[in-house]
Amino acid sequence: MANRRPKGFGADRFFLYAVLLCLALLFLLPVYVMVCNSLKPLDEIRSGNLMALPIIWTIEPWLTAWSTAQIGVQPTGLKPYFLNSFLLVVPAVAISTLIGALNGYILTQFRFRGANLLFAAMLFSVFIPFQIVLIPMAKTLGVLGLAGTVKGLVFVNVVYGIGFTTLFFRNYYAAFPIELIRSARMDGADFFGVLFRILLPSSGPIIVVTVIWQFTNIWNEFLFGASFSDYSSFPITVALNNLVNSSTGVKEYNVHFAGAFIAAIPTLVVYLVSGKYFVRGLMAGSVKG
């Protein structure tokens, strides 16, 4: 409510803070449970309860999850797949961001027939259920020799990320003061001149937003990973699911939790560090074209 912060600490405020605190604790619960139980030996989880702090602290589950857990047929732990995810994410984010910047520039600074339609077509591509492209994309990757490779996944994630990155940059450049560009043109800047000397240097915020958005989405992506990769190229989400869902016999909850947290760390760190840029990405991605 606008106007002013109520002074003092009456019953209302106490209740408000109490409710918020409870909700916050509820929200933190899953992470607390994950971390806490990833540091317990297995029998302690079975005999004790999930909420209790470890009596015996151990990092065994983490070591197992990282290097010896059974993923599919290989007891390699999550390490190789963590690496795969990085090999996937870095090029995919870089390429899709660059393409988005270029597209955003072209769509806002140049008038030509169909520009709006093209943008709408790109925008719609972020909404489609990706199930609808799985079959033909599988065929295509086969034909291109990219099936089951990280390169293939990079290709797929770039293609389906273009819609978002173009949206971000296009909105950002649409609000860019046009006089700066006009005067640069009058000073003789050409196509690339305007892009590299005027627009990109001022694009810091949107580049950060786009990179964070793409990083989070591609790192967390599962469907394409599950459909188009094989044991050598699983990203970490697929590997984690494999670890949890296909474990027969003894369920090593602590290892599962450790694995889940390992998979979550990169995006959580990015989230904590980037704060408002993360939120901006969320808002920009949800507000219209």
Partner 1 sequence: MATLDLINVQKSFGQTKILHDISISLADGEFLVLVGPSGCGKSTLMNIIAGLEEPSGGELQLDGRDITPLPPADRNISMVFQSYALYPNMTVAKNIEFPLAMRKVEKSKRAERVKSVAKLLQIEHLLERKPRQLSGGQRQRVAIGRALAREPRLYLFDEPLSNLDAQLRLDMRTEIKKLHQRLGATIVYVTHDQIEAMTLATRIAVMKGGVLQQLGTPYEVYNRPANTFVAGFMGSPRMNLVKARLTQESSRLALNIQTGKRPPVRIDLPDMPSAMSAYIGTEVIAGLRAEAVNLARPDMVAGPTERAVDARVEVIEPTGADTLVVLDLGGNEFTVRLEPDVSLKPGQDARFFVDLAKLVCFDAKTEKLIA
Partner 2 sequence: MRTGALPKLLLSPSVLLVLVCVYGYIMFTIYLSFTASMLMPSYEWTGTASYQRLFAQENWHVSLNNLWVFASLYIGVAIVLGLGFAILIDQHIRAEGAFRSIFLYPMALSFIVTGTAWKWLLDPGVGLEHTMHNIGWEGFAFGWIKDSDMAIYCVVIAAVWQTTGFVMALFLAGLRGVDAEQISAARVDGARSWQIYLHIIIPQLGPVFVSAFVILAHMAIKSYDLVIALTNGGPGRSTWLPSVFMYQYSFTRNEMSVGAASAVMMLAAIGLVVLPYLFSEMRKVKNG
Residue indicated by tokens 């999930």:
50
List binders of partner 1 among 6-35 (CB under 8 A).
7
Cα angle 50, 81, 64; round to 5: 45
List binders of partner 2 among 205-234 (CB under 8 A).
216, 219-223, 226-227
Cα 6 to Cα 2, 14, 21: the distances in Å are 11, 12, 19
List binders of partner 1 among 176-195 (CB under 8 A).
none
Q: Is 7 in the site for partner 2 (CB under 8 A)?
A: no
Q: Is 3 in the site for partner 1 (CB under 8 A)?
A: yes
Length in residues, the chain: 289
Q: 173: closest CA among 106, 95, 96, 94?
A: 106
Q: Is 288 in the site for partner 2 (CB under 8 A)?
A: yes
One symbol per residue from 145 to 184: x for binding partner 2 (CB under 8 A), - otherwise; what is it? --------------xx-xx--x------------------
DSSP string over 48-84: S-TTSPPSS---HHHHIIIII--BTTB---SHHHHHH
Question: Nearer to partner 1 by C-beta: 6 or 30?
Answer: 6
Question: Nearer to partner 1 by C-beta: 3 or 248?
Answer: 3
CA dihedral in degrees (275, 277, 282, 287; nearest 10)?
140
Contact partner, 168, from partner 2, partner 1, none, Cβ < 5-8 Å per class: none
List binders of partner 2 among 103-132 (CB under 8 A).
103, 106-107, 109-112, 116, 118, 120-125, 127-132
148 bridge partner residues: 229
Q: How far does Cα 48 stand from its chain's mean position?
A: 35
List binders of partner 2 among 9-48 (CB under 8 A).
16-17, 19-20, 23-24, 27-31, 33-34, 37, 45-46, 48
Q: 103-123 burial, b if ≥16 CB within 10 A, otherwise e?
A: bbbbbbbeeeeeeeeebeebb
Contact partner, 248, from partner 1, partner 2, none, Cβ < 5-8 Å per class: none
Q: Is 4 in the site for partner 1 (CB under 8 A)?
A: yes
Question: Nearer to partner 1 by C-beta: 8 or 188?
Answer: 8
Contact partner, 20, from partner 1, partner 2, none, Cβ < 5-8 Å per class: partner 2
Choices 2-10, 38-46, 61-69, 272-280; region in contact with partner 1 by CB under 8 A: 2-10
Write out the two tokens for 211.
Answer: 């990179």
